[in-house]
Amino acid sequence: MHQSVLLNEVMDFLGPKDRGIYVDGNLGMGGHTEKILELSAPRGRVIAFEWDHSAMKLAQQRLGRFDERIIYVPANFATMPDQLGKLGVNKVDGILLDLGLSSFQLDKSTRGFSFQGSQPLDMRMDEHCDCTAAQLINKASAEELADMFFYYGEERQARRITEFIVERRKSEKIEKTDQLVAIIEKAIPRKYWPQKIHVATKVFQALRIAVNAELKNLDSILKNAPTVLKNEAKFCVISFHSLEDRMVKRAFQADSTLKVLTRKPVIASAGELAKNSRARSAKLRVALKVGEV
């Protein structure tokens, strides 16, 4: 079972209540939504966004007992204001964005999110989207790839990795995750391999961000989400890498309708880390809707 990160911390800030309407911008396997519905019983509701249709189906099975109190929206959270308008919902009592991948996507999906094993280099959250990671790897220019790895993955060896990729794709298409991992391992000298993460982590992160336009979507929702929050409602965002965390921090500080409640991001406790190592990079930031200042 997928373990939702910072579950108790999120609930403490969000404070789900009876009759409240909450938005889970990244349903995933449904852990956060499940807890919100339990704490907001008997009449609290959740509007759940998820553009990975396979993950949504699994979440719906888990949350079947709440069917009357949950609305599923098969779309990216960037469309939230428009989707809420279509549902006749003007304001909500809280919003949660969990920007991480679910255990299903990392362990069970065959779309190349994980660098373990051999999977197609796909990485699309919505399989109806046109661009795949393989297309980027094989068709993007050397400059585009290097910039992608450096800016989206913060990979210091971006240009060297790109050189090895460009050389390899002259002789064969790079279509599987294990092909790309092998190239990265060969490109980066052993002395520069990171100690705490896999050597391919940053490149895979960069590709996933590019394929799914993740930073563009995040920028959009950070600007627009406060407009659908009631006064005193909470906006909670869990990020998993520094690019996202900086965006959230700056957006909260810049918005005159928000009061930052987390001077520093909330991180997982030692107890949670002992049970779920994937929580180690999670950072929670929370803001309160206060109206115009």
Domains belonging to the chain, first-starting first, are 7-104+214-289 (3.40.50.150), 110-212 (1.10.150.170)
For residue 129, the 8-state DSSP code is S
Distance between CA 119 and CA 109 in Å, rounded? 9
Distance between CA 224 and CA 227 in Å, rounded? 6
Cα 172 to Cα 68, 117, 149, 245, 246, distances in angstroms: 52, 19, 21, 37, 38
Q: What is the pLDDT of residues 4-50, one digit of tens each?
A: 999 999 999 999 999 999 999 999 999 999 999 999 999 999 999 99
Which tokens hold the place of 139?
């068709």
Q: For residues 66-80, give the mean pLDDT.
A: 97
Distance between CA 227 and CA 130 in Å, rounded? 31
H runs (alpha helix) in the chain: 7-14, 31-39, 53-62, 80-86, 103, 133-139, 142-153, 158-168, 177-187, 201-212, 214-224, 242-254, 270-275
Q: What is the pLDDT of residues 224-253, one digit of tens each?
A: 999 999 999 999 999 999 999 999 999 999
HSE (side-chain half, CA atoms, 13 Å) at 68:
4
Q: For residues 197-219, give the mean pLDDT.
A: 96
Reported as a pLDDT band with limits 50, 70 and 90, residue 2 is low
**What pLDDT does 1 receive?**
54
Q: For residues 199-211, give the mean pLDDT.
A: 96
Cβ atoms of 19 and 44 within 8 Å: the answer is yes
What residues contact 268, with CB distance under 8 A and at least 6 apart? 5, 6, 276, 279, 280, 282
User: Counting every residue, how long is the chain?
Assistant: 293
**What pLDDT does 293 receive?**
45
**What pLDDT does 127 receive?**
83
